[in-house]
Structure 1
Amino acid sequence: MSRIGASALSVVLAAILTLTVQTGVLILVVAVIVVVQGLLASAPAPADARGRSIPTPRSAATMSAGLVSCVVAMDPTLLLGADGSSVGQDGLVSTGVMAGILPGVAVGVFVALVAQMLRRDDRRELVLSTSSAISLALFASLASAWIGAARASSGPDVVTIAAVGLAASLLVWMIPIDRFVCGAIAVTVGAAASAVAALMVGGLPTWVFGVAVGSGTALFAILGQVLARAWSQGRVHASAGWGFPGAMAIAMAGPIVYLGGQLVTAGF
């Protein structure tokens, strides 16, 4: 049941992303991504060998990383140096490579370390606790790649094509059959759905582009759910059972969508 709930949430989030990107108002896309990052911050704390939850301050690190990555993804020129300087030229190049992720992760790491210093317990399992918080910060930063994709010249079309493939694959992923068989079918369906979507929108290359983006988005969305369910270790409350896995599918698919937008810009 939790897999169905998580997949349904991912489909709803993908549909909302599609609707918001079609409005052309970037701040609406950012709002959806912030919601996704909030769901990532709700991930359950890691457990030790006995199954006991380890105190892990993670919300601040996750959300700070996510918000910084969103701000930079909205306006990558924030990373540029002075006009005409070598720093400015290097920054101009780096903005084409998901510029918001590294600053977001850097902030998340710093906040995670400060949060560990402020723990009032004996800081047991310090390494596992810290690595979990930093991992969530990374996932939250990856989600901002949807914003970078939406800013591309054909961003609305790319996001729509990717979201269609993601939604179609996760609808198949709900089917209670062997997971490997279901995963293969889901990726195939996602690629086909994105290919059809690519043919229906104007101004994009061919159905081949839809197959490439759709299959990649479907694969990483499924991997995101699998990773999140393994992270949750069988816990079935709302955040662990479907909120966190549903958001992970969106976050993991983000870089693929971004790369699709860059391919279109480059004249794929």
Structure 2
Amino acid sequence: MSRIGASALSVVLAGILALAAHTGVMLLVAAVVVVVQVMLASAPAPADSRGRAVPTPRFAVALTAGVVSTVVAVRPSVLLGADGSRAGNEGLVTNGVLAGVLPGVAAGLFVALLSQMLRKDGRRELVVSTGYATSLAMFAALVSSWVGAARAAAGQDVVTISCVALGAALLVWPLPIDRYVSAALAVTVGSGAGAVAALVVDGLPTWFFGVAVGAGIALFGVLGQVLGRAWAQGRSHVTSAGWGFPAAMAIALAGPIAYLGGQLVTASF
């Protein structure tokens, strides 16, 4: 997928995510998050030094991690223990949590190890294969950060500002100029778009919030695009970076910044 195509798809996903957050229905936000996680799970296999695909259990690993982390983000109460046991503080939080990431990665790692045990091809490149699968699990789990951002105080505004900043930055990123210049321009545009969005929304987030969060969202969105395309670099048979994978990576890496912004607004509320 070209840079233009991947960036355009990220913009579309960000727009759908903002619309889902505006409904106030967390299940809709979670549904969009799961779609992004499926796109991550569909990543191409990594390549060895010869450009050959390394057999890697990817789809089940990433999807397991993503679903587990999303369930915890939507329903933090699942972290509570049985009756009579001492409850974790995260299970009582109602303004968005990031606590599902580690359980999600742990579940994904378990599936990855189980899949490696069931391999019957000699387990070539075992360490590389497991490492890539675990990385995918982490990226998929990070997407659930958007649910935490949407559950924060003024979560709808936070997600809207974040998505506007991300979309604006990724519209600039594919420009046919030097990559460092386009990246710097994307961060600048994302920061400005975040400030404008905050003024238009006219809610709890201030224009300064829009500048700060917009810059962070733009930076990590661009990094997601770069990392997504680099994932398949060096492959001798597959020239594409996977269907939608760079686009999904931009959403995944921008998620924790949106979550952090939501928590800052919640703390000042």
Give me the TM-score of the superposition, normalised by structure 1.
0.94
Partner AA of 2:39 in structure 1: L
Decide whether the 8 Å contact of 2:65 with 2:138 is kept in 1: yes
Distance in structure 2 (CA, Å) of the matches to 1:229 and 1:46: 12
Decide whether the 8 Å contact of 2:43 with 2:243 is kept in 1: no
Tell me what 2:104 maps to: 104
Percent identity for Structure 1 against Structure 2: 70
Decide whether the 8 Å contact of 2:10 with 2:248 is kept in 1: yes
Decide whether the 8 Å contact of 1:65 with 1:106 is kept in 2: yes
- Superposed, 1:226-241 pairs within 5 Å as 226-233=226-233, 240-241=241-242
Tell me what 1:23 maps to: 23
Tell me what 1:166 maps to: 166
- Superposed, 1:108-127 pairs within 5 Å as 108-127=108-127
Distance in structure 2 (CA, Å) of the matches to 1:205 and 1:16: 21
Distance in structure 1 (CA, Å) of the matches to 2:153 and 2:239: 38
How many residue pairs match? The answer is 268
Do residues 251 (structure 1) and 233 (structure 2) align?
Answer: no
Q: What is the CA-CA distance between 1:25 and the residue it aligns to?
A: 1.4
Distance in structure 2 (CA, Å) of the matches to 1:191 and 1:182: 14
Tell me what 2:155 maps to: 155
Distance in structure 2 (CA, Å) of the matches to 1:12 and 1:149: 19
Query: Secondary structure in 2 aligned to 1:252?
Result: helix
Q: Indicate the RMSD between aligned Cα atoms, in angstroms.
A: 2.2
Give me the TM-score of the superposition, normalised by structure 2.
0.93
Decide whether the 8 Å contact of 2:42 with 2:243 is kept in 1: no
Q: What is the CA-CA distance between 1:239 and the residue it aligns to?
A: 6.5
Q: Which moved more, 1:187-196 or 1:224-233?
A: 224-233
Decide whether the 8 Å contact of 2:47 with 2:54 is kept in 1: yes
Distance in structure 2 (CA, Å) of the matches to 1:31 and 1:191: 28
Q: Which runs of 5+ in 2 are unaligned?
A: none
Q: Which runs of 5+ in 1 are unaligned?
A: none
Query: Secondary structure in 2 aligned to 1:16?
Result: helix
Please list the CA deviations of residues 130-152 of structure 1 after superposition, one character each: whole Å capped at 9, or x if unmatched. Answer: 00011000000000000111111
Q: Which has the higher helix share?
A: 1
Distance in structure 2 (CA, Å) of the matches to 1:85 and 1:257: 33
Distance in structure 2 (CA, Å) of the matches to 1:264 and 1:245: 29
Q: What is the CA-CA distance between 1:77 and the residue it aligns to?
A: 1.8
